[in-house]
Chain A
Amino acid sequence: MKGQFLRSCILVLAVALVVACPAWASKNTPSSKPASAHPELSAQEKLTPCSQCHKDATPTVYKEWYNSVHGIDNVKCFQCHGTYEDIKASPDEATCASCHNAQYMKRPKNKKCWDCHPAHYFFIHK
């Protein structure tokens, strides 16, 4: 009984998210951008390494990452994208600085890190 309303809401929400996604992006202003675009998961489901689902959900991204230097050196999804409470599709660039502070400091200010180091491949330069 407990939580039935919420559970059904979450289900609707998950569907709505998938449907609403494209429309969303165009409507967004920076201040109303949602922090999380991840479908809601149960507490148990949240105890799953990101890569376990994303291997199937986003196989191309997974493969790119797995074969990149980040993949080989075990730099995991959550280190750049956060976890469920603070997921960001595009990471905060300052997160890159946790490891790449020297490069972050001298980067061209009109570009994002991944403009030159494509996301999930992370070549030295594009």
Chain B
Amino acid sequence: MGLSRREFIKRTAALTAASYAGLSLPISNEDYSAHASDADSWHKGTCRLCGSGCRLELEVKNGKAVALRGIPQSRTNMGYLCMKGMLFYKLMGNNHPERLKKPLYRARKDQPFREISWDRALDIASKEFAKTVKKYGNNSVAYYGSGQAFTEETYIFQKVMRGGLKTNNVEGNPRLCMASAVGGYVTSFGADEPIGSYSNFERASCFFIIGSNTAEAHPVLFRRIMRRKMDNKDTVKVINADPRVSPTSRIADLHLQFAPGTDLALLNAMAYVILEDKLYNEDFLKNYADFRMGKKKKKVSLQKYMAFIKDYTPEKVARICGGNITADKIRKAALWFAKSEGTMSLWTMGINQRSRGVWANNLIHNLHILTGQLCRPGADSFSLTGQPNACGGVREGGGLCHILPAHRLVKKNKLRHQVERLWGIPEGRIPPKPGYHTMAMFEAVNEGKIKAIWINCTSPAQSLPNCDKYRKGMRREDVFIVVSDIFPTKTTELANLILPTAFIFEKTGVYGCTERRSQLTVKAVNAPGEAKPEVWMVREWALRLSKELNDPVIKKCVEPFMGKEPDYELPKAIWEEYTQKLTKGRDNDLSGATYEVLEKLPDGVQWPAPTKQWALKGGTDIKFVRGLDPLADKYAKNDLPYQFYGPAHPDRKLWIWLRPQKGPAEMPDSKYPFYLSTGRIIDHWHTSSMTGRIIELMRANPYAYVEVNPKDAERLGIKPGDMIEVVSRRGRNILPAKVYVGPCEGMVFVYWHDEDENRMINRVTKDAFDPGSKEPEFKICACRIKRVSGPRPLKPFLVHMKA
């Protein structure tokens, strides 16, 4: 029997007093320990707090979540967890008093919320959406989801929106983090998602880490890279390319610190060295590669590519890049990259969140194609994902405005009609035009074109760039906003209807992590109060919508799921439809990965997994390799060992792209002389609505800082802890300074998790976005900084529900 926290404190008080007096008391605090030996049960699941897909076990005692530990047999984390993974049980069930427990409603946003029943909440949600559709048309409603929702949740939301409400206004926060990686994979390799797996960490001899602070953003994956490096100090090289020196740099042999926005030039210069020194792999190029350029994807020759790359001599590029970059460093990096037994590139938001993020992705892939550093052990061009289910749920499940489930493009008639057939709804039901992408969606909210929006499991009011601009639209009284979440956030502040949802381990569903791996978490504890799984909400909402709009097709969308118990049977039925019907025969074939199979494995299944037998082995470790990937054998067109059968490249080639250097949308100038970049810190995740509520994590990083290079700090008279005003053309923050050889000179860096209005850096960032991927350029804008005072005592801040 566990002690309550209050009981624990009182016992501690008594024990401490007794020890002063030298007294023995007949009590102890041992049963407060989370790991006491009389465990009731341990339940397998996936970590909630990044995209690594660490597998863990939750200990449940008397219905209460009490501890988490890693699963040693898991191929993702091998038993290791970071502090977030160790502690997030503190948010489950009744462990946290602030969990949302009842539906809350207000007709107007200037009114206080009132508790209402689920019946009434679902009535309101369906009436408002139905009314809006009738009055303003199908494209006046929208769903904005999350890379943290289960695949089953994203899938059923988008099914009801597209098949039921006849709109492709289906988006999600992965647009803000992964869209450029999707664009890069599809245009370079013809298929989304990485070719290889984490298993390459133990086989790589060179790591090229660019635009990723892996040590803090993916600490458990970083452990594997660190181990590989430390066990092979002389033979394994680590190159870290980043405008900011970060904890990741600690294991680097070579640090390339370039000025923000000069990444494309740097990558082209590495290609220059590879060509000039004949470090490319001629056979690989001949068999598998093509050269392409421009919007029309024009095919060009190697000679043309060589002529293009001539402009990027290391000497010239070193001048463009600034920072610590020299021609020698570029040459050394290119040499290590090309010559190693297996080179693995790793990147995340530093590359993706650029106004030319797709191009930056292409240029990394170029280096791998040129040198043939693909498909063989340790060789991989591997984008790391930030959210637990951005890949599985949103990229694969059809969670963006232009894609349907299983990598089908909305605009392809054949594929769209295929989905309509599989759903058993009339042809032409899904509109042929993609919906609004995220930035356009919130612009449409601003303009009053979207009148009703359901935001699930994410907080755009804080996470959109230049968020004040979009909060204005969300405050409009003529825009009806539903927010489903577990805690109050900056976005629930702007809602009309708040629906309390079950957290992970309080419901059942699948997360698909970075390495194409789908992993199941089965419900182990009860959700607090009246919190419910989203899949139940959507089903019930759809049934009511069907009545309100007198449209039986909406009901048809959820018919296969009627009468199912919501904690396990319902998500299982959704997963079955998605995998058995929608993914079958596609490149992300998951038809072998049934709940039964997933429950048997310590971790999960990597697609393609077309059969149960294959899935039970864990699925496909490396795509496109005959003998390793069943689809490579099935779709083989010749005797070559690699078969690039991806749906986007009918020529089955990898494409090397001619992409010129292009700077950020906003460059520093005399008025705003600094680069501003943003990022994460290990203890917090995203908008900190979860990690901020775990006291250990909150204390470790109670508020956001602005990191200032010591040289800039000296010039501006800034001392550690001084309060600094950071101002851009969009907005301002006032934050404490960390004077630190992190960012390069002329650049400041701010953590983005803080919910305090003064420290919410997305009020300052710019909402420019990549014309291809539509992913915003969070990572670079121009700002000015000024010391406003000495250190001030600060308080951590979280949004609370007003009583």
> Which A residues contact B (CB, under 8 angstroms)?
16, 20, 24, 27-36, 44, 46-50, 69, 72-76, 78-79, 82-83, 85-86, 92, 94-95, 97-102
Contact = CB atoms under 8 A, between A and B. Distances in A.
A97 B700 contact: no
A46 B702 CA distance: 10
A98 B699 contact: no
B12 A100 contact: no
B782 interface: no
B81 A99 contact: yes
B83 to A, nearest CB: 5
Contact of B35 (A34, A47, A82, A95): A95
Given A29-B24, A69-B230, A73-B215, A100 B79 contact: yes
Nearest to B681: A74
Contacts of B34: 94
B685 interface: no
Given A74-B219, A83-B695, A86-B32, A31 B26 contact: yes
Contact of A32 (B19, B82, B683, B701): B19
Given A98-B67, A99-B70, A100-B79, 4 more contacts: A35-B29, A50-B700, A74-B215, A82-B696
Nearest to B23: A32
A48 B223 contact: no
Given A35-B15, A74-B219, A79-B86, A102 B699 contact: no
Q: Chain A CB within 10 Å — which of B86, B216, B227, B230 has the most?
A: B86
B24 A31 contact: yes
A34 B219 contact: no
A85 B8 CA distance: 9
B19 A28 contact: yes
Contacts of B700: 49-50, 76, 78
Given A35-B29, A74-B216, A86-B32, A101 B223 contact: no
B72 interface: yes
Interface in B253-277: none
Nearest to A79: B83
Contacts of B305: none
B751 to A, nearest CB: 13
A48 B216 CA distance: 18
B20 A72 contact: no
A74 to B, nearest CB: 5
A100 B223 CA distance: 13
B147 to A, nearest CB: 23
A69 B15 contact: no
11 contacts: A30-B28, A34-B19, A47-B702, A48-B699, A72-B247, A72-B250, A85-B8, A98-B86, A99-B69, A99-B81, A101-B79
B222 interface: yes
B69 A98 contact: yes
Contacts of A29: 24
A15 B369 CA distance: 66
Contacts of B24: 29, 31-32
A99 B230 contact: no
7 A-B pairs with the lowest CB-CB distances in the bound complex, closest first: A94-B35, A102-B72, A47-B702, A35-B12, A34-B16, A98-B69, A99-B80
A79 B694 CA distance: 12
Interface in B1-38: 8-9, 12, 15-16, 18-20, 22-29, 32-35
Contacts of A34: 12, 15-16, 19
Contact of A101 (B15, B70, B695, B696): B70
Interface residues of B, number: 55
Contact of B226 (A48, A73, A94): A73
B222 A76 contact: no
Given A78-B700, A97-B69, A31 B25 contact: yes
Given A35-B12, A35-B15, A46 B699 contact: yes
Contacts of A44: 793
B28 A31 contact: yes
B226 A72 contact: yes
B796 interface: yes
A79 B22 CA distance: 30
B682 interface: yes
A24 B19 CA distance: 7
Contacts of B701: 49
Given A85-B12, A98-B69, A99-B79, A78 B19 contact: no
A122 to B, nearest CB: 12
A98 B27 contact: no
Contacts of B70: 98-99, 101
A26 B222 CA distance: 42
A83 B699 contact: yes
B83 A73 contact: no
B251 interface: yes
A48 B71 CA distance: 31
A75 B215 CA distance: 10
A49 B26 CA distance: 35
Interface in B280-314: none
Contacts of B15: 32-35
B699 A74 contact: no
A69 B226 contact: yes
Contacts of B696: 78-79, 82-83
Contacts of B16: 34-36
A30 B24 CA distance: 9
B68 interface: yes
B143 to A, nearest CB: 36
A66 B702 CA distance: 21
Contacts of A86: 8, 12, 32
A85 B700 CA distance: 14
B106 to A, nearest CB: 33
A76 to B, nearest CB: 6
A55 to B, nearest CB: 13
Nearest to B28: A31
A73 B72 contact: no
A32 B140 CA distance: 66
A76 B696 CA distance: 10
A28 B24 CA distance: 9
B255 to A, nearest CB: 15
Nearest to A44: B793
A31 B699 contact: no
Nearest to B695: A83
Given A24-B19, A31-B27, A97-B35, A49 B699 contact: yes
A59 to B, nearest CB: 19
A36 B13 CA distance: 10
A74 B682 contact: yes
A53 B498 CA distance: 42
A39 B216 CA distance: 30
Given A49-B700, A73-B223, A32 B69 contact: no
Contacts of A76: 83, 683, 700
B759 to A, nearest CB: 14
A22 to B, nearest CB: 13
Nearest to B85: A98
Interface in B684-708: 695-696, 698-702
A97 B28 CA distance: 22
Nearest to A47: B702
A60 B454 CA distance: 53
Which of A24, A94, A99, A102 has most chain B Cβ within 10 Å? A99
Nearest to B17: A34
Contact of B219 (A73, A82, A100): A73
Contacts of B68: 98
Contacts of A20: 20
Contacts of A72: 215, 226, 247, 250-251
